Amino acid sequence: MKKVVLITGASSGIGKEIAQLFLQKDYLLILSGRNEKGFDHVKDNQNVEIILGDITK
């Protein structure tokens, strides 16, 4: 069974880089962020679920 990681702010910056590290280790990722284009690098990956939005509002 794969481990699941939830990363907020994953469409850019540190969150995006952390997501890349976990993908290399074959984790299942739930990524949250405001910028849809920031997820272009992972949108076709079957180990990734993307939630668009701002969790501060």
**pLDDT at position 57, please?**
75
What is the pTM for the complete model shown? 0.88
**pLDDT at position 49, please?**
97
**pLDDT at position 43, please?**
85
* Confidence label for 52 from pLDDT (cuts 50, 70 and 90): very high
What lies within 8 Å, CB to CB, of 47 at 6+ separation is 2, 23, 26, 27, 28, 29
The domain limits of the chain are 4-52
Tokens of 6: 């939830």
The model's pLDDT over 10-30, given as tens digits with 9 standing for 90+, comes to 999 999 999 999 999 999 999
